[in-house]
Homo-oligomer: A and B are copies of this chain.
Amino acid sequence: VPAFGVVDAVQANTVECAHTAPYYFFGKDETFAIDCAIPFGLNSRQMTAWMYDGNGLKLLREFYAKYSIVNFPMGNTGAQMGGWYRKEVKSLAEMKGLKMRIGGFGGKVLERLGSVPQNIPGGEIYAALEKGTIDATEWVGPYDDLKLGFNKVAPNYYYPGWWEGGPQLSLYVNTKAWESLPADFKAIVEAAASHAHVEMQARYDARNPVALKQLVAAGTKLHRFSKDVMDAAFKAAMDVYAELSAKNPNWKKVYDDYSAFRRDQNLWFRFAEAGFDDFMQQQKL
């Protein structure tokens, strides 16, 4: 089954289940993206909280029922990096005309900054970046990016990946296949998905620092996106969401709950969590 045929294949029961990044399917309905990552969305822990104890799973199950899919959270990468740039991008003005390979839903916001999002298969990105056919590419984070060697042709590595603050992967199971399982097998699938969910985030967290150090040792320059880029992107994202809420009732129903949850989460995380992390990140350890 090709990457973009996953929803069709599970819906038709051609395959009984699949593991995927739901934002690939935002062309069918933008609501899919909320099950994975939208720009300036929930971070990894917040997304898991919304799914497991907020209304996330309930609302997305209702949405997926239209596609004969039962969904389970199954993995998260954590906040991604903002990608590799051949030249430094010092301000919003320099985002204009930038040809950038970007996956998923983030391109919809990036194009409002005047950039030109490009959809290029993974295997062809390195050559395009080396030749200058594109000016920049994003992929995931240090662990995955190091393997593809983008640092050799584009030394500027930006953060944070504001379009993927906590992208969640999902397990899709065809509704009939799911309903045919006895209760104990259902419980096993659910717990196994949780095990994979926590393990994937753990692997990225444990392996990214090692890869980051290798990248920096090899000459990679780390840059934080300038404030004007972040502010303009945030505003563009909120505009996109308001427009979607006006025209897509599926989006509106899920996003209304998601955005209220996001507001409360960021209110709370600034105290104990950020207070602890800020301090630890400033220490000589």
The closest CB in chain B to the CB of A276 belongs to B160
How many residues of chain A get a CB closer than 8 Å to chain B's CBs? 73
Task: Confirm or deny: A218 has a beta carbon within 8 angstroms of a beta carbon on chain B.
Answer: no
Number of this chain's copies in the assembly equals 2
Residues of A at under 8 Å CB distance from B? 40, 43-46, 48-54, 78-82, 141-142, 159-162, 165, 188, 190-192, 194-195, 197-199, 201-203, 205-210, 212-213, 222, 224-225, 230, 234, 259, 261-281, 283, 285
Docked-complex contact A263 and B279, CB < 8 angstroms: no
The closest CB in chain B to the CB of A194 belongs to B195
Instruction: Tell me the bound Cα distance from A269 to B208 in angstroms.
Output: 9
Tell me which of A52, A261, A263, A277 has the highest count of chain B C-beta atoms within 10 A of its own C-beta.
A277
Q: Report which of B79, B141, B198, B234 forms a contact with A283, defined as CB distance below 8 A.
A: B234
Please name all residues of chain B whose beta carbon is closer than 8 Å to the beta carbon of A213 when the two chains form the complex.
Answer: 264, 267
Q: Report which of B40, B50, B142, B271 forms a contact with A81, defined as CB distance below 8 A.
A: B271
Instruction: Tell me the bound Cα distance from A190 to B198 in angstroms.
Output: 12
CB distance from A145 to the nearest CB of B (A): 11
**What 5 A-B pairs come out closest when comparing CB atoms?**
A52-B202, A49-B205, A160-B275, A53-B206, A209-B264
Instruction: Tell me the bound Cα distance from A81 to B272 in angstroms.
Output: 6
Tell me which of A40, A188, A285 has the highest count of chain B C-beta atoms within 10 A of its own C-beta.
A285
Docked-complex contact B285 and A269, CB < 8 angstroms: no
